[in-house]
Amino acid sequence: MSAMTAVAVEPFELKWNGDGFEAGILALGKDLKRVPLDEVLDKANRVSKRKGAAGTGAFGSMKPKPVDWYCFDADDNATREWYPQGLTCASDAGTGGNVFVVSWYHDPSSGAERGIRLSFLDAASLRYRHVLLVTARADGNIAPINIHAGGVAWYDGLLYVADTSRGLRVFDIRHIYEIDGDDKNTIGKKSGVHNAFGYRYVMPQTGAWVSTGTATFSFAAIDRSTEPDSLISGEYVDTPGKFGRVARWPLTSDGSLRAGAGGTASALDAYRLPETKIQGALTYNGTWYLSQAGGSTKNGTLVVVGDTIKKRPYPVGPEDLTCVRDKKTLWSVTEFAGRRVVYGVPL
């Protein structure tokens, strides 16, 4: 018997909303150059360091240390304006290659709201680039998206970003646009020129799966060991004695959630988590891996759930989970300033 307790799937119902997105994307396409992800990676302007010393601060008392890791540059490691949360990779997408994608949210206490962004890291070249996620309007204007972005999952050409109380926002990897302005302080279209806080590339939202139940959406992942492949989401709960839930939705071949009449997607299954403070969840060949927070200075825990529960050492501030299947490694990202790293451990 699994240590994960099955619960009702009804709270995890999602309804497709594609209204109002197409017109904005068409407007952007008229004004701006659409670029492939390969071009974004080829023009990546930041350099990570593999197994760099700067990342070891996140490991704390963890023994053994991760088998591999990538450090952000000094500015991204130190900033208190942006906080990394979600993680996915090309292995989730099924596209091949060695690319990681990190979601970040902006802390508005540091200034005007700048929304959320994704970092695309090419682990082969060790270079990465931030892309700002935006909403696009029919008049060609763009605006930041003010959510926590606690998780991100990449399947085929689609990226799912967790929107805590609303469900999942959808972005299309085939819709990245090059900005023609360079003002670092403004966003939007003015006098025919677009600015995006100095970001060179933006990715507009293309749709949303809106929650019609009581579930919250704190993290996201892809399970390629189910038939069909599935998307995982789950709830972060830090109230003593209360536990979050996780659910899985079947995916179609084009990357969308499998929906019935009226565009409603029902979860395949749902479970109560056996621990509190879970920041990420992933299943691989029937085993659940759960990332548990320990605080800003205390090591977290990797909770491995099969027939029994096993706990393994984990870094300080572990977040969302992904895996590189051909290397049988489980990956996460840490969030706290001065302790930020993308790292992998054996499954």
Cβ contacts of residue 130 below 8 Å, gap of 6+?
46, 104, 117, 118, 119, 199
pTM exceeding the 0.85 threshold for the entire prediction: yes
pLDDT tens-digit series, residues 59-73: 999 999 999 999 999
pLDDT surpassing 90 at residue 24: yes
pLDDT of residue 2: 59
Q: What is the mean pLDDT of residues 36-65?
A: 95
Closest alpha carbon to 342 in 42, 66, 38: 66
Note whether 14 and 210 are within 8 A (CB): yes
* Residue 250, helix vs strand vs coil: strand
Q: Could you read off the pLDDT of 313-331 as tens digits, one per residue?
A: 999 999 999 999 999 999 9
- Compute CA distances 158 → 3, 117, 239, 256, 283, whole Å: 32, 15, 33, 8, 20
What per-residue confidence (pLDDT) applies to 217? 98
Considering the four listed CATH numbers 2.120.10, 1.10.1060, 1.10.150, 2.60.40, the one that applies to the domain covering 5-346 is 2.120.10
Q: Chain-wide mean pLDDT for the chain?
A: 96
In the predicted structure, residue 1 carries a pLDDT above the cut 60: no
Express each pLDDT in 127-146 by its tens digit. Answer: 999 999 999 999 999 999 99
pLDDT band at 96 (very low <50, low <70, confident <90, very high): confident
Q: Give the dihedral of Cα atoms 3, 255, 228, 103; nearest 10 deg.
A: -20
Q: What is the average per-residue pLDDT within 150-176?
A: 98
Torsional sign, CA 138, 143, 148, 149: positive
What mean pLDDT do residues 88-111 have?
A: 92
Quick: pLDDT tens for 176-219: 999 999 999 999 999 999 999 999 999 999 999 999 999 999 99
Quickly count helices (H) and strands (E) in the chain. Answer: 4, 30
Average pLDDT over residues 101-108: 95
* HSE-CB for 214 with a 13 A CA cutoff: 6
- Amino acid making up residue 157: G
Both structure tokens of 149: 């972005």
Tens-digit pLDDT profile for residues 213-269:
999 999 999 999 999 999 999 999 999 889 999 999 999 999 999 999 889 999 999
The percent of residues above 70 in pLDDT, for the chain, comes to 99
